[in-house]
């Protein structure tokens, strides 16, 4: 209850910021996208990470206004960055289950795009496998409505849930993000290596792009590249950055 009040306060007094983690094209080495990750600058506790407040926001329904704040600010900052640098990169925004189920989600997306002037092709939404469980027809229709706004869709934390491959085939998504659990123990764990390369192969058969998450070492990067993974994200390339540090990073990695 206390945290609920604190989250309301945080929304009203803009205590949130976004971190931006670069996503790199493994073949060219170029930055193609950044993932927006929310941070809370609490007046007395200092920096609070999303794992310790997203679930409370979700339970209390505050995730809807917080999610709208994230969408709007992610679009606004990406538009600013594009105007400043002339670079064409995407921004990825995480959705939670309650946002995904909100019938006004499409409207929030269109508002964020219209108010900031960001073209929809530069916005990607990340959903998790668990959000896509349930009535396949309803889920497919929802994803189609989202795609109709012009944004792209990625399945986050792929491999940690239970989606079957036949199910995946029916979903109108653009990309899979391989859960960092599978990447973490490459090259020590040969099972994880096999699973990762199999996910990449299946995704490509289904015309999906593949992003590896949690890439921390050069060996992991090389393995993923050798196995045709399209994109990668992780501390090996960069941790999540402030807007100013992202601007510097982009200038240094042109
Ligand atoms: O940034 P960090 O790795 O601490 O993020 C932890 C978790 O919080 C991740 O699962 C991430 O998807 C989630 N998360 C980060 N930012 C947002 C956000 O803006 N909205 C939602 N719903 N989840 C977020
Ligand atoms: O669930 P999602 O993929 O949205 O979560 C992203 C989270 O992963 C963020 O909290 C981010 O800080 C974290 N993260 C990003 N890169 C790495 C990495 O290379 N290693 C680890 N351990 N965590 C990472
Ligand atoms: Mn994510
Ligand atoms: Na993820």
Query: What is the domain extent for residue 53?
Result: 2-252
User: CA 243, CA 220: separation in Å to the nearest integer?
Assistant: 27
- Would you state the pLDDT for residue 134? 85
Choice from 17, 96, 213, 219 to test ligand 2 binding pocket (greatest atom count within 8 A of CB): 213
Quick check: CB of 54 below 6 Å from ligand 1? Answer: yes
What is the atom index within ligand 2 of the atom nearest the CA of 240?
12
Query: What's the 38 CA to ligand 1 centre distance in angstroms?
Result: 6
DSSP letters, 112-162, are HHHHHT--GGGEEEEEEGGGG-S-HHHHHHHHHHHHHTT-EEEEEEETSS-
CATH number at 113 reads: 3.20.20.450
- Would you state the pLDDT for residue 194? 96
ipTM score above 0.90: yes
Mean pLDDT per 10-residue section of the chain, whose length is 254 residues:
94 97 97 98 96 97 98 98 94 97 97 98 96 91 97 94 80 96 97 96 96 98 98 98 97 90
The counts of H helices and E strands in the chain are 11, 9
Query: Atom 20 (ligand 1): residue with closest C-alpha?
Result: 94
User: Number of folded domains in the chain?
Assistant: 1
Q: Which 8-state DSSP code applies to residue 174?
A: S
């Amino acid at each position: 209850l206390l945290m609920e009040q604190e989250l309301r306060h945080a929304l009203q007094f803009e205590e949130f910021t976004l971190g931006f983690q670069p996503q790199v094209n493994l073949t060219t080495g170029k930055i193609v996208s950044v993932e927006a990750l929310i941070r809370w600058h609490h007046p007395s506790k200092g920096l609070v990470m999303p794992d310790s407040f997203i679930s409370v926001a979700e339970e209390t329904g505050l995730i809807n206004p917080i999610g709208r704040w994230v969408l709007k600010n992610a679009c606004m900052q990406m538009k600013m960055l594009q105007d400043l640098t002339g670079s064409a990169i995407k921004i990825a925004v995480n959705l939670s289950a309650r946002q995904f189920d909100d019938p006004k989600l499409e409207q929030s997306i269109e508002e964020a795009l219209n108010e900031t002037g960001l073209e929809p092709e530069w916005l990607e939404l990340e959903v998790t496998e668990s959000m896509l469980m349930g009535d396949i027809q309803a889920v497919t229709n929802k994803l189609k409505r989202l795609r109709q706004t012009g944004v792209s869709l990625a399945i986050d934390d792929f491999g940690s849930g239970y989606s079957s491959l036949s199910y995946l085939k029916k979903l109108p998504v653009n990309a899979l993000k391989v859960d960092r659990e599978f990447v973490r123990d490459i090259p020590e764990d040969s099972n994880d290596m096999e699973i990762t390369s199999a996910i990449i192969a299946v995704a490509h058969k289904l015309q999906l792009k593949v992003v590896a998450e949690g890439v921390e070492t050069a060996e992991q990067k090389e393995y993923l590249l050798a196995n045709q993974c399209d994109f990668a994200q992780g501390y090996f390339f960069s941790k999540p950055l402030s807007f100013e540090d992202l601007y510097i990073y982009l200038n240094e990695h042109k």
